Structure 1
């Protein structure tokens, strides 16, 4: 199964690179896609809807993700799942954290110049909120799907995860702080990160557990 996750990682990384090149070289299809999708999504703007969305979109913001990740890591350490806690924390740090920051500097894309309903100052590509939501929610969802036996829980987990991620992506375009290609790139890269991270966890869990055991450290991280 690790090979399947690796294949998924390469596929979504290819999609991300395809979008990134289109944005970097300002290709026509990027402009046309962004313009049409923004016009459609922002046709739903109302004052009450905007006030609610501004609050909800911050659940995938930097501070919220840091707090949620820290709480998750602390809980896993408490449960003596040391490998799982390190894996989860490092995936969030390297994916939505360091890589997104670097890519924003490289691509250096300005925010949309049209109707903007929230104040932001950093570069636009890729969407940090979309990447963070995809990685954080995606990791939790995939782990639930791979570890529980009840089919309905697997389905429910997948539906909830997809709905939450899609909503966050929608809010970033709705608020005028991102182009659609920003959020699509964030989603694609997020899936690539999740897939690669799961593959590495599956490949190296037993080896790391054995290394810890030789140091008299018993780890309770589950196999997937």
Structure 2
């Protein structure tokens, strides 16, 4: 069966990378000048009006699946499927570079900005600096990368819509959980999304350029 390729035009990938990097830069300046405080406090106040024992358990669940161990487990399972079931070595490398690169980039940015975590309405404890949100960056990178790779293996339009919807729901909910639990400002989460968006657009561009230039690898049949 012929598979539809997931291919972004070069201009679109580079434009997305540039726009997301620009928006991240604006958010970073906003954070550095402390002009973001009113925006952050308004959203934090609105979010915590939803606080309840049941909502707290839900948010703790989503923040847990965005943590290191669950992310590693999901990543390993995805790699096993890509390599052993689908036989896609290049896609496995793309996924690993995207996620590991996102984690390293987040670490560098946190050390650069050194923003302290919020102290208001803290429900759980977290270590390290606040901007940009590591959970948000990792969730965005991993689920966008998986959506990009799985897309061409989903034959129906409905299946693809569900794939995008589930990925978007996980990304947004994991980010929102960090605000609800009091360990990140909303601007931390937005900054994480846009920085990861720029990183992923660059990864996809490089991956597609690499695919165009390299001869096809022999892989297992997916028919």
For 1:14-53, what aligned pairs fall within 5 Å after superposition? 14-26=22-34, 28=35, 30-53=36-59
Which residue is equivalent to 1:88? 95
- After TM superposition, the score normalised by the length of structure 2 is 0.88
Q: Give me the whole-angstrom Cα distance separating, in 1, the residues matched to 2:165 and 2:190.
A: 18
Extract structure 1 runs of 4+ deviating beyond 2 A: 142-150, 206-210, 218-222
Match of 1:115 among 106, 121, 129: 121
Larger CA deviation: 110-119 vs 15-24 = 15-24
Which residue is equivalent to 2:10? 2
Which residue is equivalent to 2:187? 181
1:11 touches 1:192 (CA, 8 Å); kept in 2?
yes
- Distance change in 2, residues 1:161/1:221 (3 Å): farther
Q: Give me the whole-angstrom Cα distance separating, in 1, the residues matched to 2:76 and 2:156.
A: 28
Q: Give me the whole-angstrom Cα distance separating, in 2, the residues matched to 1:42 and 1:50.
A: 10
Which residue is equivalent to 1:99? 105
- After TM superposition, the score normalised by the length of structure 1 is 0.88
Q: Give me the whole-angstrom Cα distance separating, in 1, the residues matched to 2:20 and 2:152.
A: 20
Equivalent position SS for 1:44: coil
- Distance change in 2, residues 1:77/1:149 (3 Å): closer
Q: Give the total of aligned pairs.
A: 213
Which residue is equivalent to 2:76? 70
Task: Write out per-residue CA displacement over residues 33-91 of structure 1, whole angstroms, 9 at most, x where no aligned residue.
Answer: 10100000011111232123212211011221122112222322223311111111011
2:142 is the counterpart of 1:136: yes
